[in-house]
């Protein structure tokens, strides 16, 4: 409510003809989404305008009720300079966990978790490994409100390493994954838990000579590394960027790499049968370049949807590609038709959630070409076509 003095000041300013401050263009992006049902989704990300202008701001939470998206303002941890949310998992409509990071008073990145009880979001700070100089959580998977696993990375003076945390509904517990021999960097960026005592997490690690795919399995007590061999077309600097498990014996992971020698990027899939990974290629229509898949959601072993972007120009600095998706029927991958972003614009998908066979929701960003500005983007898949809308 305006006070009399404030109202008078506004009137005086208008009388003098001073132009009101121009609002900055939108600079939002959605990184994660989870849908307990087709009419109930939660998406998270970052609002860079809020991050720059509001102490503790930046984290973005949006909810879908089957008809419209609405924004929710989460609380920041005490003393936070800014916040970001990168992943979310909602086992029910009244139970969600979102993860990311916040900058503390010293400007150090600290793992962040936000929990939803159906009424309010509450921030929490998962522990960092001893000796770490910072860290973040990139993704989370919850089977129930009291059983979640989150993954990310933490940093030391020597480099970085994969980070994992478990949530029991009251507190977070560190569960450090094994570090591959010779690694100097490492991160787990996606995780999928088909049961409370079984999860598969994927990411990458770097040696002094190459970047390699990383996959770990959680049995409810400890992590174990599982070897991954990407196809020849994508073995150069390969990363695993998404994973979804219909069961402990059926997981599909997606990734990106190159054949080397300036051949460009190639997307690929890895299939887990409970014992080992087998690689598969993903084809795209003629003329498509630089396919970059970053997420996948599987309702069964023969029903998956993977999303990301294609046609990016990596010589430019900002977003330059267009959102893309492909679906798996148990035998082949088939690219879906996602509307182009329009002249002078770029689009991308960052995550997808499929609560039903004919219902998937993907989120990302739509904005000016070669720019970090833009609005949140949501794509709805009905097993036949994609419908795109921008979010608030």
For residue 205, name the pLDDT band (cuts at 50, 70, 90).
Answer: very high
Can you give the residue range of the structural domain that contains 85? Answer: 27-390
Residue 147 lies in a domain: yes
- What region does 382 belong to: left with phi over 0, alpha with psi -120 to 50, or beta? alpha
pLDDT, averaged across the chain: 92
The pair of structure tokens assigned to 155 is: 């940093």
Tens of pLDDT, residue by residue over 291-324, are 999 999 999 999 999 999 999 998 877 789 999 9
Has residue 50 got a pLDDT over 90? yes
Q: How many domains would you assign to the chain?
A: 1
Q: Which residue has the higher pLDDT, 263 or 70?
A: 70
DSSP-assigned beta bridge partners for residue 366: 347, 375
Distance CA 298, CA 141 (A): 14
pLDDT at 96 exceeding the cut of 70: yes
Report DSSP state, residue 2.
-
Q: What is the pLDDT of residue 259?
A: 83
pLDDT bin (cut points 50, 70, 90) of residue 156 is confident
Q: Give a yes or no: residue 43 inside a domain.
A: yes
Tokens 């993954």, located at residue: 151
Residues 6+ positions from 100 with CB-CB distance below 8 Å: 44, 59, 83, 84, 85, 86, 87, 112, 114, 136, 137, 138
339 pairs with which residues across the strands? none
Q: Which residue has the tokens 């070897």?
A: 227
Determine which of 1-15, 165-179, 191-205, 272-286 has the lowest per-residue pLDDT on average.
Answer: 1-15
- Residue pair 318/371 in contact by the 8 Å Cβ criterion: yes
Adjacency order of strands within the sheet including 386-390: 345-356, 359-368, 375-381, 386-390
* pLDDT over 60 (residue 1): no
Residue with tokens 């939002």: 28
On whether residue 14 sits in a domain, the answer given is no
Q: How many CA atoms lie within 13 A of 202 on its CB side?
A: 29
Question: What average pLDDT does this structure show over 155-159?
Answer: 88
Q: Find the mean pLDDT for residues 36-41.
A: 97
pLDDT of residue 263: 72
pLDDT grade for 20, boundaries at 50, 70 and 90 = low
Which stretch of 16-20, 353-357, 364-368 has the lowest confidence by average pLDDT?
16-20
On the question of pLDDT at 15 being above 80, the answer is no
Instruction: Let me know if residue 273 belongs to a domain.
Output: yes
Provide the CA 347 distance to its chain's centre, in angstroms: 15
The CATH number of the domain where 349 resides is what? 2.130.10.10
| Residues whose CB falls within 8 Å of the CB of residue 197, separated by 6 or more in sequence, listed in order | 219, 220
Two tokens, residue 230: 């990407």
Rg (CA), the chain: 21
pLDDT bin (cut points 50, 70, 90) of residue 7 is very low
**Is-contact 134 108, C-beta < 8 A?**
yes
pLDDT at 19: 55
Any domain includes 169: yes
Q: What is the DSSP letter of 301?
A: T
pLDDT (average), residues 220-234: 95
pLDDT at 18: 52
**Residue 4 covered by a domain:** no
Would 22 be classed as within a structural domain?
A: no
Percent above pLDDT 70 for the chain? 94
pLDDT at 284 over 90: yes
| DSSP 8-state class, residue 285 | -
- For residue 20, tell me if it sits in a domain: no
Q: Report pTM.
A: 0.93
């Amino acid at each position: 409510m305006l006070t009399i003095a404030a109202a008078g000041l506004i009137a005086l300013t208008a009388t003098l003809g001073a132009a009101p401050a121009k609002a900055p263009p939108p600079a939002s992006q959605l990184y994660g989404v989870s849908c307990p049902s087709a009419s109930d989704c939660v998406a998270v990300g970052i609002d860079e305008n809020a991050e720059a202008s509001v102490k503790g701001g930046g984290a973005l939470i949006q909810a879908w009720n089957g008809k419209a998206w609405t924004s929710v303002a989460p609380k920041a941890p005490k003393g936070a300079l800014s916040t970001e949310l990168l992943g979310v998992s909602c086992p029910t409509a009244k139970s969600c966990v979102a993860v990311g990071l916040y900058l503390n008073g010293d400007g150090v990145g600290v793992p962040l978790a936000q929990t939803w009880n159906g009424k309010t979001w509450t921030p929490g700070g998962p522990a960092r490994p001893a000796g770490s100089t910072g860290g973040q959580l990139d993704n989370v998977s919850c089977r129930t409100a009291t059983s979640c696993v989150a993954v990310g990375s933490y940093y030391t003076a020597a480099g970085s390493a994969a980070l994992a945390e478990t949530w029991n509904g009251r507190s977070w517990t560190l569960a450090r994954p094994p570090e591959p021999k010779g690694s100097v960097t490492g991160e787990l960026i996606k995780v999928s838990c088909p049961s409370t005592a079984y999860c598969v997490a994927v990411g990458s690690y770097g040696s002094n000579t190459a970047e390699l795919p990383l996959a770990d399995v959680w049995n409810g007590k400890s992590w174990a590394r599982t070897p991954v061999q990407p196809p020849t077309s994508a073995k150069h600097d390969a990363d695993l960027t998404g994973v979804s498990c219909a069961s402990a014996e059926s997981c599909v992971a997606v990734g990106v790499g190159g054949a080397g020698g300036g051949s460009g990027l190639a997307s690929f899939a890895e299939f887990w049968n409970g014992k080992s990974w087998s690689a598969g290629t993903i084809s795209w229509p003629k003329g498509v370049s630089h396919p970059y898949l970053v997420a996948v959601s599987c309702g069964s072993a023969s029903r998956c949807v993977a999303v990301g972007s294609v046609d990016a120009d990596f010589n430019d600095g900002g977003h330059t590609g267009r959102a893309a998706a492909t679906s798996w029927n148990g035998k082949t991958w088939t690219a879906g038709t996602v509307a182009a972003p329009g002249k002078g614009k770029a689009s991308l998908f960052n995550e997808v959630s499929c609560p039903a066979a004919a219902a998937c929701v993907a989120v990302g960003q739509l904005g000016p070409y070669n720019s970090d500005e833009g609005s949140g983007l949501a794509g709805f898949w009905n097993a036949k076509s994609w419908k795109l809308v921008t979010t608030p």
